[in-house]
Structure 1
Amino acid sequence: MLQALLIFALQILYVPILTLRTIFLVKSQTKAAAGVGLLEAAIYIVALGIVFQDLSNFYNIAGYVLGFGVGLFLGGKLEAKLAIGYVTYHVNLVERSDELVSSLREAGFGVTVFTGQGINSVRYRLDIVSRRSREQELLDIVESIEPKAFMTSYELRSFKGGYITSSMKKRAKKFKQKEETNRKDSQ
C-alpha cells in the first residue's frame, strides 16, 4: 500500500511537469522544455518501474491511474496560473470607440484600430496583444465599455517589434499606480 501512495505522489508530480514541458515546447522554449524533460523522465521511470515490478498489484496500478488523473487536473490549474505567453484579441465594433481604445492604452495594452466594410456598414476592429497573465483584465475593460463587442482570440507563438516592449510595461505600472490612488481616494 505504501508503494501505491508513492506511485500516486510521483504521478501528481509527473503530470504537471509533463504539462509544463509541453507548454514550453509549444511556446518554442526548447531549453526550458529540455530541462523540465529531464526531471519528467526521471519521475516517469521510477513510478513506472515500481508498477512493472508486480503487475498483479492492483493498488500500484490504481495509484498510477488515479495519480495521472489528479496530475492532469493540477497541471491544468498550474498552466492557467502561470499563463505563459501572449494572446492577441480581435475586437469587432459597430461604432468607433475612442473611450475603449484610450482605456486599453492607459492600462498598458497595445491597440491597433482598423476600419473595414461589413455586410451592411463600416466596422471597426481593434487588434490587442496582451500577456496571458493580463488577459482577464483586458476582457474586463472591453466588457465594461463595449459589452456587445464581438471578440476572437489567438495565442501567439512568436512576434517581433511593435508596442509590446518596455513601453507596455511602463504604462501597465502607471495604470496600477493610478488604480491604487483611485481606490485610496474612494475609501
Structure 2
Amino acid sequence: MDALIIFVAQLVLVPIVTIRTILVVKGIRNIAAFIGIFEGFIYVISLGLVFSDLSNIWNMVAYALGFGCGLFLGSILETKLQIGYVTFQVNLMTRNEELVKTLRASGFGVTTYIGEGIEDHRYRLDVLAKRNREREFMDIIDRMDPKAFVVSFEPRTFKGGFLTKRMKKREQAKTKPAESH
C-alpha cells in the first residue's frame, strides 16, 4: 500500500514542481509560492514513506516510476497550459503586405523592418503573442509565406507597445464597475 501512495504522490508532485518552476521563471512568484506549500507537503510525505523502510525496494521503485511518469505528465500539462508569451522574428525574402495585414487583422501586433542580406534586402516582422496563439500564428505564416524563416523565443519581461496597451485596457474593463443606463 505504501508503494502505491508513494507512486501517486510522485505522480502529483512532479507536475506541481514543473508548473511552480515555470511560474517562478516567468515572474509569477505569488502563485508559485502558494503552490510550493503543497509541493513541500507532498514531498515530505512521499520521502518519509521511502525513508521509513529502506529495505523495501518496491517503495524505491514506486518513487522512481512515479517521478518519471510525473515528469512526462508535467511536460504535457505545461504544453496544454501555454503560460506566457512568445516573440517571433519572421524573415521574408520579399515584402508581404498581405501577410502583415492578415496578422494585424487577427489581433497580432506586428512591427516591420527592412534589412540587408548578403545579396538583397530582407524583410523582418517582429510579433509578440500569447503562447496559446502560437499554432494560429504559424498556420498563418505557413499558409501565406511558407518560405519564411521564423525564430521564436520567450521573453521574460517587456514594457510598452501594442500588447501592453491591450492588456491594460482589459484589466481596466474588468475592474470598472458596470454603469447603469
The residue that corresponds to 1:128 in the other structure is 127
Show the 5 A alignment for 1:25-64: 25-64=24-63
Which runs of 4 or more aligned residues in structure 1 lie more than 3 Å from their structure 2 counterparts after TM superposition?
165-170
> Could you tell me whether the CA contact under 8 Å between 1:110 and 1:168 is conserved in 2?
no
Superposed, 1:136-147 pairs within 5 Å as 136-147=135-146
- The structural deviation recorded for 1:168 is 7.7
**Which whole-Å CA distance do the structure 1 matches of 2:15 and 2:101 have between them?**
39
SS of residue in 2 equivalent to 1:103: helix
Q: How does the TM-score come out when normalised to structure 1?
A: 0.87
Query: Is the Cα contact below 8 Å between 1:108 and 1:169 reproduced in 2?
Result: no
Structure 1 SS opposite 2:147: coil
SS at structure 2 position matched to 1:148:
coil
Q: 1:169 and 1:94 mapped to 2: Cα distance?
A: 35
For 2:106, give the aligned amino acid: A
Distance 2:5 2:62 in 1: 8
The within-5 A match list for 1:83-94 is: 83-94=82-93
Separation (CA, whole Å) in 1 of partners of 2:124 and 2:38: 44
Where do 5+ consecutive residues of structure 2 fail to align?
Answer: 170-181
Q: What's the CA shift string for 1:1-26, capped at 9, x where partnerless? A: x1101100000100000001100110
Give percent identity, aligned residues only: 54
Superposition map of 1:1-187 within 5 A: 2-165=1-164, 167=166
Distance across 2 between alignment mates of 1:40 and 1:167: 35
Q: Which amino acid aligns with 2:95?
A: R
Encode CA deviations 1:60-96: one digit per residue, 9 max, x unaligned.
Answer: 1111000000000000001000000000000000100
The CA distance in 2 between the partners of 1:162 and 1:109, in whole Å, is 12
Deviation at 1:107, TM superposition (A): 0.7
The 1:42–1:168 alpha-carbon spacing in structure 2 relative to 1, beyond 3 Å, is closer
Task: State the 1:32 CA deviation.
Answer: 1.3
Q: What are the superposed Cα offsets for residues 37-75 of structure 1, whole Å, 9 maximum, x if unpaired?
A: 111011000000000000110111111000000000000
Residue 164 of structure 1 aligns to a residue whose secondary structure is helix
Q: Which amino acid aligns with 1:12?
A: L
Q: Is the 8 A contact 1:109 1:168 kept in 2?
A: no
Q: Aligned partners of 1:45 and 1:152: how far apart in 2?
A: 42
CA RMSD between the two structures: 1.4
What TM-score does the superposition give when structure 2 sets the normalisation length? 0.90
**How far did 1:165 drift?**
3.8
